[in-house]
Amino acid sequence: MADARGMSRRQVGLGALALGGGLAFASLPADPAAAAAPSRGGGRPALRHGSAREAGLLPGPLRQLVTDAEAFLQPSPEHPWYAGAVLIAGRGRTVALHRPIGMAVRYQAYDEETDTGVEFPPDQQIPMAEDTVFDLASVSKLFTSILAVQQIERGRIELEAPVASYLPDFGRAGKQDVTIRQLLTHTSGFRAWIPLYEAPTYEEKVQRVYDEEPASPPGTAYLYSDLNLISLQLVLEHVTGRRLDVLLREEITEPLGMRRTRYNPPASWKPKIAATEDARKPWSGLDRGLVWGEVHDENAYSLGGVAGHAGVFSDAWDLAVLARTLLDGGVCGRRRILRPESVELMFTDFNTAFPGDEHGLGFELYQHWYMGAMATPRTAGHTGFTGTALVLDPTTDSFLVVLGNSVHPVRGWRSGSAPRVAAANQLARAVPVRPARGRTAWFSGMASAATATLALPALDTSSGAARLSCALWWDTEPKADVLVLESSADGGTTWEPVPFTTRRRGGSAEPHPTGTATGWSGRVWHDLTADLPAAPGLVVRWRYTTDRLYVGRGAYVDGLRVESGHRRLFDESRPADATRLRAEGWSREED
């Protein structure tokens, strides 16, 4: 089922081009995980459980991650967002958090008249466990995409080739120029969804895809569509001669040892599977009753449970293995499923023409609406309609799995993506930012709909030669959340922006003529300088303002100093000066 898409999306540069069947790569930001050398035995260490400290994470935010997740078991605001969930958060090869919460099976039906869930008797309800299996919904699209990129590596598929060159009947109704890349990046022109389950036979369902006319000319718009991945499934099955479920098993799950990931789980798995919806019309396309152990998506169900857009079942640990494999450049232990350059391609934005809809091959990129503060131009992931999400951040080598049964007992009980955002914010917060010069630095916090200020005392800059210097680190939701350097010569009645210049180590100077910083700065410290206005009692402050929706990792300031010629007007390293700083919403953060 097509997921609702968020609105906070930002543009990043295209890092790779696909030319025919060959791949030509431009310079990309360094990925420490992908660049790491294999171990002496030719493989990499297995994923393991460990402490937050062993993962290089702060334990406090991980504890808060669980607390935040548990809050959504309660009315949010009218109904629980999910009946239960399984959470995994990790960094490097260490899973520092693996926690089940709530119930995997709670309701036997939904009462439409009273808008309540009819619960199973307590002895028939099943709590979540670490190994509970979930219907991944649209997270399944990632597996289809990986299988497609494997075939690109092997030369069986060309990224820029028309889909009709593999499936001639696909070229009907104005789709003759739709390419494989456009399927993977949702720029084919397909509308979001059509009720394939209404067609009586498999062959007629396929014909409906072939007969579908694009809603927009291919390549001219972004429109998320299940039909893209269903079409890609047909291509894969044609060029390999194998069904998609066989490809999944032979090319991904068996090599990676993902024993609880498959289409159509057997009946013996049912007690370990999270239930989904009491599927009945009008909210569902089919009258099926409680869906439990079978795929929830109507189209995937009608396709026999095996579909390119939905149908994969998995547990949190298996998804963590997949995340680690991709962060390691496509290798797990001694088994490689993708080349490093192919992983780079999947994490590269092909949709620079559609700002806000950044997309690699199969993976969504830089989406604050569910990645929260983990979002960077290289952060990749996907969500699923049933309440699932996978987020990978190569910048910090961290990964997050949130598996919830949020359509249990009915899809109308949840809206938005707040639990995913809350979990991602806390994992981002758990990655420490080391102070630039000492043991502590000023931190803006990560509150939404907030304003935080950090003000220096009034200084005499009337000589006209005063200059501010400090170290600055920022990562905010682009444009929506802004860090401003400003000054007041009238005791704070009015404020004016102060232009400044930043320079990262080994980089060139970057001017900020409006006195603001927003968006992505590489999550590294920058040296900052700013010429201050001349005034006998000038107050200079940092102001960090966020909107009500999403936030980035925030801002850090360290080593504040103001000099005028050879005279030092303020130096944060001097204890007497440090106590004169006025912080509202900012706090001192230790390394």
User: Averaged over 550-560, what is the pLDDT?
Assistant: 97
pLDDT of 76 reads: 87
CA angle 539–543–549, rounded 5-degree value = 165
Alpha-carbon span 452 to 442, nearest angstrom: 11
User: Averaged over 125-141, what is the pLDDT?
Assistant: 98
Does position 19 have pLDDT exceeding 60, yes or no?
Answer: no
Per-residue CA distances from 66 to 69, 105, 188, 431 (Å): 5, 20, 39, 16
Per-residue CA distances from 587 to 68, 213, 437, 440, 554 (Å): 22, 56, 16, 10, 12
Q: Place 26 in a pLDDT band, splitting at 50, 70 and 90.
A: very low
pLDDT of 374 reads: 98
Does position 41 have pLDDT exceeding 50, yes or no?
Answer: no
Length of the chain: 591
- Give 57-67 pLDDT, tens digit per residue: 999 999 999 99
- Give 71-90 pLDDT, tens digit per residue: 999 998 899 999 999 999 99
pLDDT of 590 reads: 83
- Give 326-377 pLDDT, tens digit per residue: 999 999 999 999 999 999 999 999 999 999 999 999 999 999 999 999 999 9
Does position 5 have pLDDT exceeding 90, yes or no?
Answer: no
Cβ 145 vs Cβ 346: under 8 Å: yes
- Give 496-540 pLDDT, tens digit per residue: 999 999 999 889 999 999 999 999 999 999 999 999 999 999 999
Does position 30 have pLDDT exceeding 70, yes or no?
Answer: no
pLDDT of 591 reads: 65
| Secondary element (H or E) of residue 207 | helix 202-211
pLDDT of 29 reads: 32
pLDDT of 506 reads: 87
Does position 23 have pLDDT exceeding 50, yes or no?
Answer: no
- More confident site: 449 or 591: 449
Helix (H, G, I), strand (E, B) or coil at 513: coil
Cβ 321 vs Cβ 254: under 8 Å: no
